[in-house]
Structures are given as C-alpha cells and as structure tokens.
Structure 1
Amino acid sequence: MPRPDSGQPSVPGVLTAEQVAAAARSIASQQEPSGAIPWFAPIGGVPGHVDAWNHVEAAMALSVAGLTEPSRRAYEWLLTAQRPDGSWPAKWVLGEVTEPGGESNHAAYVAVGVWHELLVSGDEGFAERMWPTVRRAIEFALGLQSARGEIIWIRRPDGSPSDHALLTGCSSIYQSLRCAVALAERLGDPQPDWELSADQLGHVVAAHPEAFADKSRYSMDWYYPMLGGPVRGPAAHRRVAEHWDAFVVPGLGCRCVSDQPWVTGAETCELVLALDAVGDTARALELFESIQHLRHADGSYWTGYQFANDRHFPGDRSTYTAAAVILAADALSGTTPGATIFKEVGGRVLGPSEPADPVACGCAPATLPSPVPTGS
C-alpha cells in the first residue's frame, strides 16, 4: 500500500526535496537482494555489515521518502531473519552471521519502525502482519530487564546475559516500548505490563546513572535520553547546556567522541532530532545546516569528517547516515505523519515517567510487615 501523498520532506534553504530523494535512492541502491540494508556497499573488497537497528532506521527513511517497495522488502527481511527467541543476530556480513549475540535495543527497535510505517502509510494490514514479530522482539528485550528497571544490552550466544546495561540503548528501548504499547492498543491486543516496564525503564534512565556502564565520552550517551524521551523539559535543557561545548563543533556538527577531532553525520542528525523534540528548534536547524558538508554529489552522505586532518573519516558513505538526515528533515519540516515519532506516540507526549516500583530502584524504602499483635 503506498503512503498518502504528502510530498518529499525539505528544509528550505538547507535541503531540497530532490536532495532528500537522492539520499533515499542512495540507501535503496545498497539494499541486498534479501532485503537487508548494510551499513555501506563493499569498499575495496570489504563489505559493510547489517544490524537490525540501523536496518530499521534505513527502512523508516525509505518510507519517508516514498520508496515503499524497498522499505517493505526491508521489513519482510526482518520477518525471515528473526530467531525463535525474538532476537536478531548482532551482525551479518553478506548474509552470514558474524556476531550471533542478540542485542536488546536491536530487537526492540522494530516496534518503532512498524509504528512509524503505520503512521506514514496508514496500512493496518502491514501492522497486523508484523505484530507477532514485534511482540516476540519486545518480550526478548524485556527478558533482559533487571528488577531496578535497566535492560541488559546483550544476550550472549550461550543464552547468558551480559553484566551491564547501556544508557543509549535503554533510552532507545524506552521509545520502542512506547511504540509497542501504542501498536498493541491499536491492534486490539493491549499489553499493560509493557507500559509498566517502560515506566520503570524511563525513570531509571532519567534518575539512576549508576545503573549504566560509563560511556560518557560518547555523544550518544549525552543526547539519547532526550531523543528517546525519558528526559524532557528543564532537565533536558540543563543536559544540553552542560555538554554542548564538549560535543558540538561550531559550523561542523557533533563529535562522536568528546576527545576525538571528528564529527559524524548520524550523531549530528540524531542530536537535531533530540533538540527538535525538546523544543530547541533554532539550534536544531543550525546543526542540520552545518552537517550538509558531508553530502556527496550523488545524494549519499559521508559518515564523518576528521577536522584535524581535513579528511572524511571513516572513509565510507553509510546508509544509516543518509537515513538520519532524512528523518531529521522530516521532523523539521513536519512533512509526513511519522514526523512526530520522536515527540509523541499514540497521542501521548514522550517524557519522564514515574517508577512502577519505587522500591526496586531505591527511591522508596521497603515497607516492613506490620508486627502481628500478641494476645493479652
């Protein structure tokens, strides 16, 4: 089913509708016959790998740009590649699994993709077909949730969980759970336990940094709590101000790592989405314009730029970077019905949540049982 004709996203003075379309075509051109979308086409004989999270992001961008057929092929691939436990392998190369562990945020993100596609296309038949896949994926992710609320980042090939959670991944899973809850309600199969899990997870992301491995060098740990939704309002604006100078290079974009002299297109555009979601639209537009120096003549985007050495680094033009550009253009322009997915889900504004179990995360003391009265 084709999407409603809402036109191509464009950002006046920054990116034209044709440039957005060219970016989408650059993604579709790298799609494998199976429907999988790798990070990049083979470079110097070295192929790009596939992971489910970036694959879903690319499918979303294709849908935004009106390339329905390759987008649907991408979702069909997810149906065939999902494992019985609800996960996908962490990495494939040319159709061969190279990292078999199952990452929780990779699995959960299919809910964002399916909800987004339902918004963009209005195709409930598609959503119904994907629903069992979404349900299994969410149950896999929630099988890694601790009593406190964080979700362990990977289940190893032997079935054992890793020993830590990641702030970026859990922030993404929060949005995924909100999309999964909305999808469940839309399809008449409500999942109230998922909502409780989302409440607990969102609270831990916002209030318990000790729950996560320290990855504070990476810009994603800075902006993802805002992008995924657990941190909004005054707390979000404080978070932006505290780390802006560490990560943002004026006129160039956002660093991937605070202590390295390179900016990346995907992180910059995700930061654009986060800023737009928290209401800082002026700086979002400024950043979006600044990263256009990575656009190639064919519409694709270089992954990053090493400004100390004045060269593109890494030396690839990645599908996930083009996808992030397209999704940011849609959010800034409000072109498709999916443009607000980083702001609200199912009529509910993304934002902080109260813990479903304050005792489990240490925000409330455990209640001791009342003493049994003795007889007189």
Structure 2
Amino acid sequence: MRVPALDEVLTAAECLATGRAIAAMQEDTGALPWFPGGQTDPWDHVESAMALSVTGRFAEAEGAYEWSRRTQREDGSWPIRTELGVVTDANTDSNFCAYVAVGVWHHFLITGDHRFLQRMWPTVRGAIELVLAFQADSGEFYWAAEHPLPPQSAPHTGMLRSALITGNASIHQSLGCAVEVAEELGRPQETWLTAQRRLGHALRSHPELFAPKSEYSMDWYYPVLGGAVRGRRGQELIAERWHDFVVTDLGIRCVDHRPWVTGAETCELALALDALGDTADAAALLADMQHLRDPDGAYWTGLVFADGKRWPVEKSCWTSAAVVLAADAISRTTPANGIFRDAESDEVRVGYCCSA
C-alpha cells in the first residue's frame, strides 16, 4: 500500500519509521499508552491505532481495537485511565468513549474489511448508546460521570454537568462515523443522526452552553476539526485567533499565554485547515513542527520556546499519531485520508449552501 509523504516535509520512509515507533510503544495486551509504561486512555489509544492503519500495520491496529473490544465495560464505557493494565481512574469520559467509532470507520475505509466491521459493531453500538445518555435537552453532551452510571430512570445523575467545546466537537465527528458504520452494515440509526444534528446546532448557535476554555487552542479549532463549523464561518473562526496561538516556524501554542508549542495540537490545526481547503497552510504547519521529530521516528510532545527545552520530556504515542494522520490527509494517500474533511455533516453543507 502507499504511505503518506510530503515533499520537503516527510518522506514515506520517515512516515513508516513513525509507524514503527508507535508500534514499539504498544503493550502486549494491544493497549497504546501515552509512552512506554505510561497511562492509556481510550481516545488517544484509538488515535494511535489509526496511525498504525495508515502505515500499513494492520495486525497491530487490529490488536489495539481488540483491546478496546475486550476491555469495554458492560455499560459501553471504558475507564478514563489505565496504567499497565491497572485501572487508575474508573470514571467515564463521554468523548473518550465515543471516539472508537472514528477509529473503526477509519480502519474499515483503509482495509475494506467487513469482518472487522462486524466484529467491532457491538463495541461501537454499546459505546454510542452509552454516550447518548450524556446528551442534555439543549443538545450538548456532559463531559464525564462517576462509574458506574445510575440507571436510565435517573438521567444525568452522577454526571459532571459541564459541557466542553473540544470534547463535544469530537463527539460530533464520532457520531457521524458511527452513523456511517451502521449504514454500511445495513443497520441505520436515526437517533444517532438526530443527536449529531442537535449537537451541531448547539456548537454553532449556543456558545453559552459550553464551559469557557478559551485559553486552550483546542477550543479554538476543534469545532472546525469535528465538522460542526465549516465554510466561511470556519475560516473566520480560525482567523480570529490565529495570532494568539500560531508561533512562526514552530507550530501552535497549547495555551495562549504560555511559551509552549505542542506537536499534536499543531497537527490537528493542520487537519482543520485542510478540511477548510487551506491545504498549503496545513502543510506549512506540519513542516513547522518537525523540530519535534526524534531520530527513531517518534515525536516529542512539545517545546518551551522561551528556553528551548522539550516539555514534557516524553515522546508521546499520540503526538506521533497526529503527524501521520495529518500527513495522510494533506497528501491524499490512503482511502481514509478524508475522514476529518468528511466530518462535515449534511445540515452544515445545506446551511452554508443556502446562506451563500
């Protein structure tokens, strides 16, 4: 299979080396921790598995999804944090749980393996049904809950009734991918599509529903990345805070007031720009963050540019994964290269078309 490559940014051999570096961090159980010996969370685990698929490491990717299938709890959730197989935070994060749908759909797009899709269907269905319990009447999703969740007869009991833009924007994409999985298997889920539409409306039209986290770059670009905001409105949103976060030749800040650029956020912004059609700037951002690359193909998490020190001092699995996913999207290489561009939902397309 073809491997992503971008002239003067990343060669195919370098991309394969990054895939090897991610696979080297994988535990025997299939878990993909932040770094060897570190914590595993269900969202970053899936993102790392996606990069394995892009680099042709299908056995390792499917081992990661098997870990997700095997460790899913009866209610459809996963613990927020596991360390070397030991649960260290048993509670539930709605966004973390939803993201398995993105990974499963992504792997299917690359492999075309219906048996894989069928095997993972109960996992996706269980996760999405669990996540729907977090949706408020006004469309947003509460972000976390104590485990175990109370019965459906007591909705939202035990939940942290706060909604975060980043997590909700990611759930928007997850719901869209879950709908695609269901339709591919001939099991359409209208309630999932309705939930996505309600969430998209909340993200576009009701900012008051979400806890303000405006100092974080993810809250800035994630509505675009997750597909809730696109077109001219998306371009305006990105332009509003470009100079607050983008550091020339280095990448983007994680937090607007700190001299710290992070590789994963830079790659995610590149993905958002690509989804808006601004592929040249997306490629430039990917090039800017290559100073974080290690000779073994892995990527350091970030750089404090005020003193030139890497921080934290770790090569994170998910940072390497974000690089691979951005390279695939920009280079249009694998059959799954458009998974972020395609996160734009139908009502967003219709809305922009009608307002044009």
Q: TM-score, normalised by structure 1?
A: 0.89
Superposed counterparts of 1:299-338, under 5 Å: 299-338=297-336
* Contact 1:56–1:109 (8 Å) recurs in 2: yes
Q: Deviations over 1:199-233 (max 9, x none)?
A: 00011111111111111110000000000000001
Separation in structure 1 between the aligned mates of residue 129 and residue 163 of structure 2, nearest angstrom: 17
Q: Which of the residues 278, 282, 285 maps onto 2:283?
A: 285
Q: Deviations over 1:281-323 (max 9, x none)?
A: 1111111110000000110000000001111011000000000
2:72 counterpart residue number: 82
Q: Which of the residues 20, 31, 37 maps onto 2:26?
A: 31
Uncovered stretches (5+) of structure 2, i.e. residues with no partner: 150-157, 352-356
Q: Evaluate the alpha carbon distance shift between residue 161 and residue 180 of structure 1 in structure 2; reply closer, same or farther with a 3 A threshold.
A: same
Q: Which of the residues 248, 265, 268 maps onto 2:266?
A: 268
* Contact 1:63–1:71 (8 Å) recurs in 2: yes
2:17 counterpart residue number: 22
- Give the 3-state SS of the residue equivalent to 1:118 in structure 2: helix
CA RMSD of aligned residues (A): 1.3
Q: Which of the residues 116, 121, 137 maps onto 1:131?
A: 121
* Contact 1:219–1:258 (8 Å) recurs in 2: yes
- Give the 3-state SS of the residue equivalent to 1:226 in structure 2: helix
* Contact 1:103–1:153 (8 Å) recurs in 2: yes
Percentage of identical aligned residues: 52
Moved more, 221-230 or 336-345: 336-345
Q: Which of the residues 41, 49, 56 maps onto 1:59?
A: 49
What letter is aligned with 1:352?
V
* Contact 2:270–2:285 (8 Å) recurs in 1: yes
Superposed counterparts of 1:105-184, under 5 Å: 105-157=95-147, 159=149, 160-184=158-182
Shift of 1:13: 1.2
- Give the 3-state SS of the residue equivalent to 1:254 in structure 2: strand
Shift of 1:354: 8.7
Shift of 1:30: 0.7
Q: Evaluate the alpha carbon distance shift between residue 35 and residue 240 of structure 1 in structure 2; reply closer, same or farther with a 3 A threshold.
A: same
Separation in structure 2 between the aligned mates of residue 30 and residue 195 of structure 1, nearest angstrom: 36
Shift of 1:157: 2.3
What letter is aligned with 2:348?
P
Q: Deviations over 1:75-130 (max 9, x none)?
A: 00001110011010000111100011111111110000010011000001100000
* Contact 2:138–2:202 (8 Å) recurs in 1: yes
Count of residues in Structure 1 that have an aligned counterpart in Structure 2: 343
Q: Evaluate the alpha carbon distance shift between residue 198 and residue 49 of structure 1 in structure 2; reply closer, same or farther with a 3 A threshold.
A: same
1:69 counterpart residue number: 59
Separation in structure 2 between the aligned mates of residue 27 and residue 254 of structure 1, nearest angstrom: 23
What letter is aligned with 1:123?
D
Shift of 1:351: 6.7
Separation in structure 2 between the aligned mates of residue 270 and residue 351 of structure 1, nearest angstrom: 23
Structure (1/2) with the larger helix percentage: 2
Verify: 1:9 aligned to 2:21, yes or no. Answer: no
Shift of 1:158: 5.0
- Give the 3-state SS of the residue equivalent to 1:170 in structure 2: helix
* Contact 1:342–1:350 (8 Å) recurs in 2: no
Separation in structure 1 between the aligned mates of residue 38 and residue 55 of structure 2, nearest angstrom: 23
2:154 counterpart residue number: none
* Contact 2:19–2:52 (8 Å) recurs in 1: yes
Separation in structure 1 between the aligned mates of residue 319 and residue 148 of structure 2, nearest angstrom: 33
* Contact 1:344–1:350 (8 Å) recurs in 2: no
Q: Evaluate the alpha carbon distance shift between residue 269 and residue 314 of structure 1 in structure 2; reply closer, same or farther with a 3 A threshold.
A: same
- Give the 3-state SS of the residue equivalent to 1:89 in structure 2: coil
* Contact 2:197–2:347 (8 Å) recurs in 1: no
Superposed counterparts of 1:212-227, under 5 Å: 212-227=210-225
2:152 counterpart residue number: none
Separation in structure 1 between the aligned mates of residue 197 and residue 340 of structure 2, nearest angstrom: 17
1:363 counterpart residue number: none
Shift of 1:352: 2.5
- Give the 3-state SS of the residue equivalent to 2:105 in structure 1: helix
- Give the 3-state SS of the residue equivalent to 2:235 in structure 1: helix
Separation in structure 1 between the aligned mates of residue 339 and residue 257 of structure 2, nearest angstrom: 32
Q: Evaluate the alpha carbon distance shift between residue 332 and residue 354 of structure 1 in structure 2; reply closer, same or farther with a 3 A threshold.
A: closer
* Contact 1:343–1:349 (8 Å) recurs in 2: no
What letter is aligned with 1:34?
T
2:354 counterpart residue number: none
Separation in structure 1 between the aligned mates of residue 32 and residue 181 of structure 2, nearest angstrom: 24
What letter is aligned with 1:322?
S
- Give the 3-state SS of the residue equivalent to 1:29 in structure 2: helix
2:81 counterpart residue number: 91
Shift of 1:263: 0.3
1:352 counterpart residue number: 348
